[in-house]
Chains A and B, each alone.
Chain A
Amino acid sequence: MQPVYLDHAATTPLLASAREALLPFFDSEFGNASSRHPLGARAAAARERAREQVAAALLVEPRQVTFTSGGTEAANLAMLGLARASAARGRHVLVGATEHACVRACAVQLAREGFDVESVPLDSRGDVDLAAFAARVRTDTVLVAQMLVNNETGAIHPVSRMARVARARAPHVRVAVDAVQAFGKLDCALSELHADALFFSAHKIGGPKGAGALALASHTPIEPLLYGGGQEHGLRPGTENVPAIVGFGAAAELAEQQRGELLARFKMLRARLVSRLSSLEGMRLLESPSAQQPSIVALLLRGAPAEVTLHHLAQRGVFVSAGSACQARSRELSPGLKAIGLSDDEARRMLRISMGRTTSEAEVDLAADAIVEVARELERIAS
């Protein structure tokens, strides 16, 4: 039997259209996009087409988009590049309380470089506390980094209001938004988020691994991380990964086209899953009280740690995750889950089910039934 894959927030299968678009660039269209002959020019044109596809989804000009090797590099470029470029104007940085590991690691690096790094305050429900955030922004705040959709819980954060609050208080602030889990599900137009920088990963939206992007507002000063041959307007030198970029462009175009219907479908699937799980005693759904991205379903199950539940589910052919896959290898508990008020024990019991474009009703039903069975079985063993 085909496994039921419900870990799409970790990665989602390559779209057929992306695969078809990128394959020639592994093959006959192997040119270096910097070469001046037709083979190079075609690679450059394909790269620019992909840039237009990504830019169109974000409502920005193509030149505002910089391709990187993935979400982590784009996050590093945004965080370190924006902060370093503004260091002469201030050294205060505010970082979301539930950010992805790569953003947190960048924040640690900025602290090492002498930046004064603080967290975005949360209220008792785990939402961003806007009033407390406003009070924490200072005139020397140069960077606010805030994810739009949390990768562990699917909570949607009030990025655009935070950006407006920050700008009113800090004249030199740049607002960097992790849109990795939002792209393809929510509107990520730079204008609507009032952001200065947005970063993305291709493989979360049906593109290939190995490509990501940073979109910047016009005239945003930023320092590169790498130095080299001037590719990507000098912001990300190095011979471009044209196949991955082309696949990314194709995936971005389709994701943006289908965003509305996909979101509606996720809402329906989420309701179906939750209602089927409601018979489970002691199950708690972690849902943002203000706004929830429906494809990520975070559950607290009574009894066994999620790690144990996960392996039992895998035996039944249902693949889910315990918290975020990117942290799964570390034994450490997720700081993001602690930040929203979960105890160590609760954080350990959190199971993440994340749906994707290919997820069917039947798969959701199978998964729900398997979760109920496994949870009951584990409870029996424990008691």
Chain B
Amino acid sequence: MNMSAPEALLVRYGELTLKGANRVDFENVLARNVRLACAPIAPVRLEREHARLLVFPEGRSEAIARRLTQVFGISSISPVWGAPCEPEAIVERARAVLEDALLSIPPGETRTFRVLSRRADKRFPLSSMELDRLVSERIVRDGQPLRIDLDHPELVLGIEVRETRAWIYARRDAGPGGLPVGTLGRAVCLLSGGIDSPVAAWMAMKRGCEVVFVTFHSPPYIGESAKQKVMELVRTLGRWQRSARLYVVPFAPVQEAVRDAGAEAYRTVVYRRMMHRIATRIAELERASALITGESLGQVASQTMENLACIEAAAGLPVLRPLLGFDKQETISRAESIGTYAISNVQEPDCCSLFLPRHPVLRGQVAVCEEIEARLDVGALVAQALAGAEPHNLGWTARGAKVRA
């Protein structure tokens, strides 16, 4: 009855199976991402078979299971115990796995239940249905808080019969879904300390995009703590990909120059055009093929269709706006669930607060922006910002052990 730790974690990946010819690439990237995500917790050995990944950790299987819920591309994770591919041995193991699972059912409550087996090895003497029935008959006893329900079971005792071994589980944790980070290229995210841009980056990562971060920092108008806050955001987001690189770009000279160029109403739009120019140059450096922003239509007065068009016109790359269809509350909920909200919500003076126009333009025109920029040395300002940019590598290694820049 004394159950040891699970032997392995069975990792399922959903969407990848649909990707035809690219599937092997996707699986390779996923396997690499899994290995890198687990490495700081415990060494793992991986086995791949039949659209499943088996992760064998050297201890700490619970921490590994939790960590895998942060690896995009995974649809679910089950801690599994192995048995020889032989009906009696499977029954014995299944009984122990079930008894362990029953520990978590509160007294007085029952769970609907079924056994569900899959048979990858057709040489196994029983069909899946026969195995279901055999195991169920042998392990379900009177007095257990279980009610058989084949259609809507709350508790599933799963069995996967493979060539060499059968794997048995009673728990299935949801993975984050999405696609493995790195399978859909790289992009540069313009990160402020706010709530939106970290969520935008996360959503791009979820769809397989590896994200490099850029933040604009304006000393001496703003303190070190604002930069620390963005670094903390990047560390948190960095858990969802292999590592996270942040460029901290000095922006005060640009703001001063734009302020001096007049046309107060256009300041915000022109700042953002400058940010996009700088981010585009960083994207070239990082071999990234798009920019990501936390912009959403109409969320603040400046985020009108016209203003977004003015800003995008200055970017040399496509601008992805994963939050475009989100209401503020939807963004906040997502930020809470990924752990960035608490960091974003700490009040720091924002980058542009001193330089904000009193009446920002609502329907900006590209021609006007260009007219204002003609009074600036755009090339020199961009070059100066790039020269002052500091790169920081802020990957997540193990909880507590963060890689320092």
Measured CB to CB, the residues of A under 8 A from B are: 51-62, 65, 130, 134, 158, 161, 164-165, 167-169, 187, 189, 191-192, 194, 290
Q: Are B400 and A54 in contact (CB under 8 A)?
A: yes
9 tightest A-B CB contacts, nearest first: A55-B400, A56-B400, A191-B63, A56-B401, A191-B62, A168-B104, A52-B400, A168-B106, A192-B62
User: Quick check: is B143 within 8 A (CB to CB) of the other chain?
Assistant: no
Write the B62-86 contact mask toward A (1 if CB under 8 angstroms, else 0).
1100100000000000000000000
Decide yes or no: A169 and B62 within 8 Å by CB, A56-B400, A60-B399, A60-B400 being known contacts: no
Q: Find chain A residues with CB under 8 A from B59 CB.
A: 187, 192
Decide yes or no: A59 and B103 within 8 Å by CB, A52-B401, A290-B2 being known contacts: no
User: Quick check: is B220 within 8 A (CB to CB) of the other chain?
Assistant: no
29 CB contacts below 8 A, A to B, read: A52-B401, A52-B402, A53-B400, A55-B400, A56-B399, A56-B401, A57-B400, A59-B41, A59-B398, A60-B399, A60-B400, A61-B399, A134-B103, A161-B3, A164-B103, A165-B103, A167-B104, A168-B104, A168-B106, A169-B106, A169-B107, A187-B59, A187-B60, A189-B60, A189-B62, A191-B62, A191-B66, A194-B62, A290-B2
Write the B26-64 contact mask toward A (1 if CB under 8 angstroms, else 0).
000000000000000100000000000000000111110
User: Quick check: is B174 within 8 A (CB to CB) of the other chain?
Assistant: no
User: Quick check: is B105 within 8 A (CB to CB) of the other chain?
Assistant: yes
Measured CB to CB, the residues of B under 8 A from A are: 2-3, 5, 41, 59-63, 66, 103-107, 398-402
Q: Find chain B residues with CB under 8 A from A62 CB.
A: 399-400
Q: Are B104 and A59 in contact (CB under 8 A)?
A: no
Q: Could you say which of B400, B401, B402 has the most chain A C-beta atoms within 10 Å of its C-beta?
A: B400
Please give me the residue from chain A that is nearest to B41 by CB atom: A59
Q: Find chain B residues with CB under 8 A from A189 CB.
A: 60, 62-63
The docked-state distance in angstroms from the alpha carbon of A137 to that of B402 is 39
Q: Within the complex, what minimum Cβ distance (angstroms) separates A261 from chain B?
A: 14
Q: Find chain B residues with CB under 8 A from A191 CB.
A: 60, 62-63, 66
The docked-state distance in angstroms from the alpha carbon of A53 to that of B397 is 13
The docked-state distance in angstroms from the alpha carbon of A363 to that of B60 is 34
Q: Are B105 and A59 in contact (CB under 8 A)?
A: no
Please give me the residue from chain B that is nearest to A166 by CB atom: B103
Q: Are B103 and A168 in contact (CB under 8 A)?
A: yes
The docked-state distance in angstroms from the alpha carbon of A381 to that of B335 is 75
Q: Find chain B residues with CB under 8 A from A59 CB.
A: 41, 60, 63, 398-400
The docked-state distance in angstroms from the alpha carbon of A315 to that of B25 is 70
The docked-state distance in angstroms from the alpha carbon of A232 to that of B267 is 43
Once A and B bind, how many residue pairs between them come within 8 Å at the CB atom?
62
Q: What's the dominant secondary structure at chain B's contact region?
A: loop
Q: Find chain A residues with CB under 8 A from B66 CB.
A: 191
The docked-state distance in angstroms from the alpha carbon of A290 to that of B4 is 11
Q: Find chain B residues with CB under 8 A from A168 CB.
A: 103-106
Please give me the residue from chain B that is nearest to A135 by CB atom: B107
Q: Find chain A residues with CB under 8 A from B400 CB.
A: 51-62, 65
Q: Could you say which of A65, A158, A161 has the most chain B C-beta atoms within 10 Å of its C-beta?
A: A161
The docked-state distance in angstroms from the alpha carbon of A59 to that of B62 is 11
Q: Find chain A residues with CB under 8 A from B41 CB.
A: 59
Q: Within the complex, what minimum Cβ distance (angstroms) separates A198 from chain B?
A: 14
The docked-state distance in angstroms from the alpha carbon of A54 to that of B399 is 10
The docked-state distance in angstroms from the alpha carbon of A51 to that of B399 is 11
Q: Are A55 and B62 in contact (CB under 8 A)?
A: no
Q: Find chain A residues with CB under 8 A from B2 CB.
A: 158, 290
Q: Find chain B residues with CB under 8 A from A60 CB.
A: 399-400
The docked-state distance in angstroms from the alpha carbon of A122 to that of B106 is 21
Please give me the residue from chain B that is nearest to A167 by CB atom: B104
Q: Within the complex, what minimum Cβ distance (angstroms) separates A41 from chain B?
A: 11
Q: Within the complex, what minimum Cβ distance (angstroms) separates B293 from chain A?
A: 29
The docked-state distance in angstroms from the alpha carbon of A167 to that of B62 is 16
Q: Within the complex, what minimum Cβ distance (angstroms) separates B115 from chain A?
A: 21
Q: Are A56 and B398 in contact (CB under 8 A)?
A: yes
Please give me the residue from chain A that is nearest to B101 by CB atom: A164
Q: Within the complex, what minimum Cβ distance (angstroms) separates A317 from chain B?
A: 38
The docked-state distance in angstroms from the alpha carbon of A134 to that of B102 is 12
The docked-state distance in angstroms from the alpha carbon of A189 to that of B61 is 10
The docked-state distance in angstroms from the alpha carbon of A164 to that of B99 is 13
Q: Find chain A residues with CB under 8 A from B104 CB.
A: 164-165, 167-168
Q: Find chain B residues with CB under 8 A from A51 CB.
A: 400
Q: Are B60 and A192 in contact (CB under 8 A)?
A: yes
Q: Within the complex, what minimum Cβ distance (angstroms) separates A163 from chain B?
A: 10
Q: Find chain A residues with CB under 8 A from B107 CB.
A: 134, 169
Q: Are A161 and B60 in contact (CB under 8 A)?
A: no
Please give me the residue from chain A that is nearest to B109 by CB atom: A168
12 more A-B residue pairs beyond the given contacts A164-B103, A187-B59, A192-B62, with a C-beta to C-beta distance below 8 A: A53-B400, A56-B398, A56-B399, A58-B400, A59-B41, A134-B107, A161-B3, A165-B104, A168-B104, A168-B105, A169-B107, A192-B61
The docked-state distance in angstroms from the alpha carbon of A61 to that of B339 is 13
Q: Within the complex, what minimum Cβ distance (angstroms) separates A375 from chain B?
A: 34
Please give me the residue from chain B that is nearest to A139 by CB atom: B106
The docked-state distance in angstroms from the alpha carbon of A187 to that of B57 is 14
Q: Within the complex, what minimum Cβ distance (angstroms) separates B374 from chain A?
A: 46
Q: Find chain B residues with CB under 8 A from A61 CB.
A: 399-400
Q: Find chain A residues with CB under 8 A from B60 CB.
A: 59, 187, 189, 191-192
The docked-state distance in angstroms from the alpha carbon of A184 to that of B104 is 29
The docked-state distance in angstroms from the alpha carbon of A55 to that of B396 is 14
Q: Find chain A residues with CB under 8 A from B3 CB.
A: 161
Q: Find chain A residues with CB under 8 A from B398 CB.
A: 56, 59
Q: Within the complex, what minimum Cβ distance (angstroms) separates A140 from chain B?
A: 13
Q: Are A192 and B401 in contact (CB under 8 A)?
A: no
Q: Find chain B residues with CB under 8 A from A158 CB.
A: 2
Q: Find chain A residues with CB under 8 A from B5 CB.
A: 192
Q: Find chain B residues with CB under 8 A from A54 CB.
A: 400
The docked-state distance in angstroms from the alpha carbon of A134 to that of B400 is 34
